[in-house]
Amino acid sequence: MRLPLHLQAQLASGLRLRGQGYTTRFAPSPTGPLHRGNLRTALLSWLEARLRGGQWLLRIDDLDGPRNRPGAEAAILNDLRWLGLDWDGPVVHQSARRGLYATVLSALRQAGRLYPCRCSRRLLADVSAPHGALAVYPGYCRDRAPFWGAQAGRLPSWRLRLEPGVLRWQERGGPCGGQDGPAAVGDVVLRRADGVVAYHLATAIDELLMGISEVVRGDDLWPSTGAQVAVMATLGCPPPAYAHVPLWRDSRGERLSKREGAEGLAGLRSRGMDAPAVIGCLAASLELVPPGSRLSARELASSLSPEAVKACQDPQRT
């Protein structure tokens, strides 16, 4: 598909940045404090960047305004600083990039890669998967005459028309990742009916333009990868590599309870833990240091090799 020249230039610049060295990012949403799982992922991605001589970028995924909480972003930045996790360059805010996302949506729409969808949540709930996860969109609106205006006072959402085929990406710590586009991903929403740019579009565009060479995140986000890779493929761009970190589990191999997993720095500090103790706790959960270790983030980085950090992400270990 043909893209505006300035968008082509931006995408090309992002791919050049990716080729210049290792770059990863940490991208929390300002919906509340960072919990233990977030903190561990932040530390792990920061270690990857520092041990590889690369960059650790910080992006605030704040597009969904109603879910953002006052003071949450400041608390996130303060937590990272308190732990000694320094980022490179200015903080990137998705809310400041709405014009960019709108340009991409306009180009996709003009190229016929989007179609309007008027399916309600109630209708889609009838095809929902177990545990409340939505099944692949069945394509009810795919072949209808496209009308983009309001009907009954409601605008449509915008869906990406996926082509047949398997979406593939490089997955570190396991086999090459892949999801069948029509069967496992489906025609994902890129612009919601309320006008908010969808997570998959914004994330895919940002990974490309920020020059991200590897995305380090929790493996609960693995199912989202195919949709984001589909957006990148539609724009003619290869995806970055991905490292989906196994979720934090207890000594019995069970996922941390919601209460344990949700505890952030405030709870840890109320128990008398300072920054070296917290870094030691996070690193010990990855078997990078013995339990009870106390050290700064910089001291931890200086004691490790890239191979050690890579090994701790093995899905069979954590």
pLDDT at 252: 61
CB count in 10 Å sphere of residue 148: 11
In a domain, 68, yes or no: yes
In a domain, 91, yes or no: yes
In a domain, 12, yes or no: yes
In a domain, 183, yes or no: no
Q: Looking at the 3D structure of the chain, how many domains does it have? A: 1
Number of H helices, E strands in the chain: 12, 10
In a domain, 95, yes or no: yes
CATH number at residue 105: 3.40.50.620
Asked whether 97 and 311 are in contact (CB, 8 A), the reply is no
pLDDT at 257: 47
pLDDT in tens, the chain (318 residues): 888 999 999 999 999 999 999 999 999 999 999 999 899 999 999 999 999 999 999 999 999 888 899 999 999 999 999 999 999 999 999 999 999 999 999 999 999 999 999 998 777 765 544 444 457 899 999 999 999 999 989 999 999 999 999 999 999 866 789 999 999 999 999 999 999 999 999 999 999 999 999 999 998 899 999 999 999 999 999 999 999 988 876 666 666 544 555 678 988 999 999 999 999 999 999 999 999 999 999 999 999 988 888 877 765 544
In a domain, 138, yes or no: no
Buried b (16+ CB within 10 A) or exposed e, 41-74: bbbbbbbbbbbbebbbbbbbbbbbeeebeeebbe
Show the tokens assigned to 97. 């990039």
The parent domain of residue 254 ranges over: 5-112+166-176+198-311
Closest residue by Cα to residue 147 from 120, 121, 114? 114
In a domain, 122, yes or no: no
In a domain, 213, yes or no: yes
